[in-house]
Amino acid sequence: MSKPKLLITMGCSFTEGVGCWDESKLPTGFSPNHHRYRDVFYLQKPRFHELGWPNRLGKKLGYDKVINLGLGGSSTSGQVKQFFEKYLDKDFSEYDVLIVWLLPNPNRISFYKDGKIQNIVHDNTLFPAYIKFLSNSYNMDNDFINEQLFYRNIIKTICKFKSYSLVSFHLFNKDYGELIQEKLGNDTSHSPILLDDNPSDNIQHISPICGHWNENGYELVSNNMFNWINTTHPNLIHNPVNTIEWEWDGYCLNSNMN
Amino acid sequence: MKKKLLITLGCSHTQGLGCWDMNLRYPVGFNARHTNFGDWAHVNRKRFHELGWPNRLGKKLGYDKVINLGLGGSSTSAQLKRFMLKYADEKFSEYEVLVSWLITESVRTSFFRDGVCESLLANGFDEDKITLFDSIYKFISKNGTRTETHTTLDYVREEYINRKVVKTICELKGWNFISFHTQTHQYGNIIQHVYGDDKTHSFTDIGFSQENDENLISKYCGHFNEDGYEMISNKMVNWIKSNHPHLLSNSPKDEIEWEWDGEFSFKLEKL
């Protein structure tokens, strides 16, 4: 008898599902500058987690459970640290496990601070020093991607030894995808496709509030992911389901590691 | 019965810096700040690699081969990167493998720049590196307002994750793994707090508290000399005997096959 199927998803806000706003519950003139933005954002988080691409993909693939580790603002290295802290030692032997990783912006980095994983994005005071360090580099994007793919390789290696399946996708444009592909060579676990390549229809797929995908966008993205997996890794596909058990576990631990 | 392979990871203390050939005539006042320090270090390089703790430990354990990845000035994360890029996919199926990591100062980190893995240290000649190192310290220490202990705790957490990657991959590959730390005498309590009761790590000082003993230290660079590395390898063996006796082979050896594979700065060839 085959094992139940578990989908673990990793990524940033685009994996957390940010953008699936319930517009009927938003204050008038709501935007990121609104004084209640943070409060409303947190109130709507459960909706984001339910309606993003992870659960949609899990249903289309015919999986039994989704654990979504997506966390807004997180970096590739921060996502690996989180995985190591929380999921490396978990016993999933009752499941066939597939990890789908939507790689975040590769220029983000992370460090521990106050015992927590702190992700460094472009508005952090540390970020300019990182850019200055790379400023004489021949191709800064190349350096960002090297760093990102090093961390991807850690997860890929762990998956190989634990007999988990892994596929990854990336955000951003075709050039970026080609740079990744060039470095990965014939590694078929990464998809070169552009997930939301439908510019004429963009307005239908993007939330005007935060610029992330909306429910239509996440549906498009999950369809594109599914189609690529169906073509490239058909062994990962089962009969689609209408409902799926799921949890979001994107919180970082305040940890002593032990 | 399989042959035994020892893979060693670490910084200059693992590369063997300090084992200078005292029969050579060095410039008057020669030290690490001398203009030609790099040239003299290059002349002595093979000697460093041959006479440091890795080969001494390999012989005392009775192993057949040593691959030393130690690299002067490297950070824990750079050492992890090197291990991942070059050895994570190696099978070494004809060997029983032991990875022994002498972990370096926790504050060091690394990033890729121009395809090269660059380690960031508190000192050096590259201003952009030093600025980034200082900015990371300011970020973690909240501009120096946190205590040294709390700041160090976060650096050790970072180091612990890097160590956990190597340890996990070793476990999954069926390799043995042990580690030691150069800073146990400085902040061993913090290391123990983060590492917990991990039996694969030695929480006792393996000799670094004697860095001021002029009989054990090179006057040229402040690293251990041959006697110092002999002391370190003896302390490592004693800890292994007490805690992981199965890692010892039957009899020590006088000769050992060895190679150094640390390279000064490695270009990214594959991911």
**What pLDDT, in 10s, does the model give residues A131-152?**
999 998 888 999 999 999 999 9
The answer for residues whose C-beta is within 8 angstroms of residue B256's C-beta and 6 or more apart is: B55, B58, B59, B63, B64, B65, B66
Interface mutation target, options A131, A143, A166, A255, chain B, most CBs of B under 10 Å: A143
> Tokens representing A152?
């991807």
Q: Using alpha carbons, select from A155, A185, A192, A151 the residue that is nearest to residue A171.
A: A192
- Which whole-number Å values give the CA distances from B29 to A223, B32, B217, B220, in the listed order? 70, 10, 16, 9
What mean pLDDT, rounded, does chain A reach? 92
Name beta bridge partners: B120: B109
Q: What is the CA radius of gyration of chain A?
A: 18
Which residue on chain A is closest to B141 by alpha carbon?
Answer: A113
- Nearest Cβ partner of A112 from B89, B113, B157? B157
Q: How do residues A172-213 score in pLDDT, each as one tens digit?
A: 777 788 889 889 988 999 998 889 876 556 789 999 999 999
Provide CATH code, domain B3-260: 3.40.50.1110
Among A133, A139, A141, A160, the strongest candidate for a mutation testing the B interface, having the largest count of B CBs within 10 A, is A133
Vertex A157: Cα angle to B82 and B69 (nearest 5): 20
pTM, two decimal places = 0.94
> What's the CA gap between A65 and B183, in Å, rounded?
45
- The C-alpha atoms of residue A106 and residue A84 are separated, in whole angstroms, by 19
Can you tell me the distance from the alpha carbon of A135 to that of A169, in angstroms, rounded to the nearest whole number?
Answer: 27
Q: Is A149 on the interface with B (CB under 8 A)?
A: yes
Closest partner CB to A112 (pick from B85, B115, B158): B158
Q: What is the pLDDT of residue B227?
A: 97
Instruction: Flag the least confident range among A82-86, A155-159, B33-37.
Output: B33-37
- Which residue ranges make up each domain of chain B? 3-260
Q: What percent of chain A has pLDDT over 70?
A: 95
Residue B270's pLDDT is 44
Structure-block tokens of residue A172: 């951003």
Between CA B1 and CA B92 the distance in angstroms is 14
pLDDT (0 to 100) of residue B268: 52
Task: Tell me if A120 and B88 make a contact (CB, 8 A cut-off).
Answer: no
| pLDDT over 90, % of chain A | 78
This complex has an ipTM of 0.93
What six digits make up the tokens of A69? 């580790």
Taking residues A22-51, report their average pLDDT: 93
Q: Nearest by CB to A111, from B112, B114, B136: name it.
A: B136
Query: pLDDT at position A174, please?
Result: 73
Of 3.90.1200.10, 3.40.50.1110, 3.90.1300.10, 3.40.190.10, which CATH number belongs to A5-248? 3.40.50.1110
CA distance B12 to A176: 37
Residue whose entry in the numeric block shows the structure tokens 């508190």: B122
Task: For residue A165, name the pLDDT band (cuts at 50, 70, 90).
Answer: very high
Averaged over A53-59, what is the pLDDT? 98
The stretch A38-52 carries a mean pLDDT of 95
Flag if A125 and B193 touch (Cβ within 8 Å). no
**Residue A127 in contact with partner chain B when CB distance is under 8 A:** no
pLDDT for the residue numbered A199:
55
In this structure, are residues B182 and B74 in contact, taking their beta carbons and an 8 Å threshold? no
Three-point CA angle B78, B82, B87, nearest 5°? 150
Give a three-class secondary structure readout of chain B: CCEEEEEEEECHHHHCCCCCCCCCCCCCCCCCCCCCHHHHHHHHHHHHHHHCHHHHHHHHHCCCEEEECCCCCCCHHHHHHHHHHHHCCCCCCCEEEEEEEEECCCCCEEEEECCEEEEECCCCCCHHHHHHHHHHHHHHHCCCCCCHHHHHHHHHHHHHHHHHHHHHHHHHHCCEEEEEECCHHHHHHHHHHHHCCCCCECCCCCCHHHCCCCCCECCCCCCECHHHHHHHHHHHHHHHHHHCHHHCCCCCCCCCEEEECCCCCCECCCC
| CB pairs < 8 Å spanning A and B | 119
What pLDDT is stored for residue A257 in this prediction? 37
Residue B14: enclosing H or E segment and its boundaries?
helix B12-15
In the predicted structure, residue A255 carries a pLDDT above the cut 50: no
Contact (CB<8Å) B194/A256: yes
Reported as a single tens digit per residue, the pLDDT across A97-129 is 999 999 999 999 999 999 999 999 988 889 999
CA distance A8 to A70: 10
Q: CA A146, A84, B263 angle in degrees (round to 5)?
A: 40
Select from B109, B154, B161 the Cβ nearest to the Cβ of A113: B154
Phi, psi of B174 (to 5 degrees): 80, 20
Give the residues of chain B that fall short of pLDDT 70. 264-271
Q: Cβ atoms within 10 A of the Cβ of B96, count?
A: 18
Is residue A29 predicted with pLDDT exceeding 90?
no
Exposure string over B172-184, b if 16+ CB within 10 A, otherwise e: ebebbbbbbbbbb
